[in-house]
């Protein structure tokens, strides 16, 4: 009888503990949902190449008409594109943001950013963020090749944009835009590499890009776009130590602007914009309707 009572008592205690844990988890979930509801949402779009020829378009290349339709769509829905600098001024200085901010980012530094995107942004009075690969910029400065189906911007073009008002230039590494390069994917730490070795590796490549940008444009990037979205748990602290204030990844989700815990700035999610679907279909996935 005593045995049954003791076990019954233990069972009741166990049920109470389980209920308490459930209540705590629920309250946390409610708090997080409430906090997110009160936060400013920041959708971010990730583009790459732009083409006038639909037969060349694909997963990472949109047509010029698709891009223009995207700009019309977000304008009609009341969204205002912002730069990384504008975001950071809000987070750290409290400078107001537009009611419905959005970021338009362009990776790799294709010359179509200069030739196609810039005129559109001027026409629609918008801005964007372009993250360039230094090695590509060096190469096409030397080649003087302006074949828009594959060419990258040269340093004169990058400098003009960096000192203009429409396209903010950020870093996409000097030469880390590679997959499975001696076991390394992009800027990710390789197996067996120490934190010290990894830090030295990133400092060498990203530091070279920072120095080149400052030399060629007079501007030093404040954000880093991880090549292929590859990063490691140690990446954030290394970027911070180098003076970067934000980083872009390739995780498709809406960002919630937090001015207290700013770690989210080093993992800003983005939605890749592919060819072949309408602006309405694409932005519906980002809850922009």
Q: What integer is the mean pLDDT of 245-260?
A: 97
Domain positions in the chain are 1-38, 42-284
- Name the 3-class secondary structure at 147: coil
Residue 85 is inside which H or E element, if any? helix 84-93
CA distance 183 to 265: 28
- What is residue 283's three-state secondary structure? helix
pLDDT computed for residue 8 by the predictor: 53
Q: Which residue has the higher pLDDT, 30 or 66?
A: 66
H/E run at residue 17? helix 2-38
Q: How far apart are CA 102 and CA 185, in angstroms?
A: 29
| Tens digit of each residue's pLDDT (9 = 90 or more) over 260-284 | 999 999 999 999 999 999 999 999 9
Q: What is the pLDDT of residues 177-217, one digit of tens each?
A: 999 888 899 999 999 999 999 999 999 999 999 999 999 99
CA–CA separation, 50 vs 57, rounded Å?
Answer: 8
The model's pLDDT over 96-125, given as tens digits with 9 standing for 90+, comes to 999 999 999 999 999 999 999 999 999 999
The confidence band for 35, taking pLDDT boundaries of 50, 70 and 90, is very low
pLDDT band at residue 87 using 50, 70 and 90 as cut-offs: very high
Query: Does residue 4 have a pLDDT over 70?
Result: no
Beta strand extents in the chain (DSSP E only): 40-42, 44-47, 49-51, 61-63, 80-81, 101-108, 128-132, 167-171, 223-225, 246-248, 255-257, 271-272
What is the pLDDT averaged over residues 140-161? 98
Q: Does residue 116 contact residue 128 with C-beta atoms inside 8 Å?
A: no
Query: H/E element holding 279?
Result: helix 279-284
**Percent of the chain at pLDDT above 70?**
87
Alpha carbon distance 250, 227 (integer Å): 9
Angle (CA) 197-199-201 rounded to 5° is: 70
Contacts of 221 (CB under 8 A, 6+ apart): 169, 170, 171, 209, 210, 213, 244
Q: What are phi and psi of 102, to 5 degrees?
A: -150, 155
Q: What CATH architecture applies to the domain 42-284?
A: Alpha-Beta Barrel (3.20)
The pLDDT of 165-171, averaged and rounded, is 98
Q: What band does 20 get if pLDDT is binned at 50, 70 and 90? A: very low
Average pLDDT (12-18) is 46
Q: Which two tokens stand for residue 45?
A: 């779009």
Q: Please tell me the distance from the alpha carbon of residue 77 to that of residue 37, in angstroms, as a whole number.
A: 19
Q: How far apart are CA 268 and CA 252, in angstroms?
A: 9
- Taking the C-alpha atoms of residue 237 and residue 199, their distance in angstroms, rounded to an integer, is 9
Mean pLDDT within 82-90: 98
Dihedral of CA atoms 89, 212, 165, 56 in degrees, nearest 10, equals -110
Q: Which pLDDT belongs to residue 288?
A: 84
The pLDDT assigned to 289 comes to 76
- Which tokens belong to 110? 């294709």
How far is CA 110 from each of CA 103, 126, 134, 217, 270, rounded to the nearest angstrom? 18, 19, 12, 17, 19
Average pLDDT over residues 143-154: 97
Q: Which of 2-6, 98-102, 219-223 has the lowest mean pLDDT?
A: 2-6
């Amino acid at each position: 009888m005593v045995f049954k009572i003791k076990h019954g008592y233990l069972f009741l205690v166990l049920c109470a503990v389980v209920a308490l844990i459930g209540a705590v988890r629920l309250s946390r979930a409610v708090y997080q949902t409430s906090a997110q509801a009160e936060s400013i949402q920041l959708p971010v779009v990730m583009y790459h190449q732009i083409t006038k020829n639909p037969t060349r378009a694909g997963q990472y290349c949109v047509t010029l008409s698709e891009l223009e339709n995207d700009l019309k769509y977000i304008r009609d829905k009341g969204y205002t594109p912002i730069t990384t600098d504008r975001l950071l001024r809000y987070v750290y200085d409290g400078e107001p943001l537009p009611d419905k901010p959005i970021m338009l980012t362009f990776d790799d530094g294709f010359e179509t950013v200069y030739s196609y995107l810039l005129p559109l942004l001027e026409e629609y009075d918008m801005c964007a963020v372009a993250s360039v690969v230094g090695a590509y910029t060096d190469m096409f400065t030397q080649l003087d090749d302006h074949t828009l189906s594959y060419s990258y911007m040269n340093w004169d073009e990058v400098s003009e944009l960096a000192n203009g008002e429409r396209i903010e230039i950020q870093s996409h590494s000097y030469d880390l835009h590679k997959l499975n390069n001696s076991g390394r994917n992009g800027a990710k730490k390789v197996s067996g590499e120490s934190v010290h070795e990894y830090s030295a590796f990133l400092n060498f490549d990203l530091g070279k890009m920072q120095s080149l940008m400052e030399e060629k444009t007079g501007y030093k990037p404040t954000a880093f776009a991880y090549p292929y979205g590859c990063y490691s748990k140690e990446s954030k602290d290394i970027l911070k130590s180098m003076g970067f204030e934000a980083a872009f990844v390739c995780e498709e989700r809406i960002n919630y602007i937090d001015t207290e815990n700013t770690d989210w700035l080093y993992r800003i999610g983005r939605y890749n914009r592919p060819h072949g679907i309408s602006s309405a279909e694409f932005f519906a996935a980002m809850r922009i309707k």
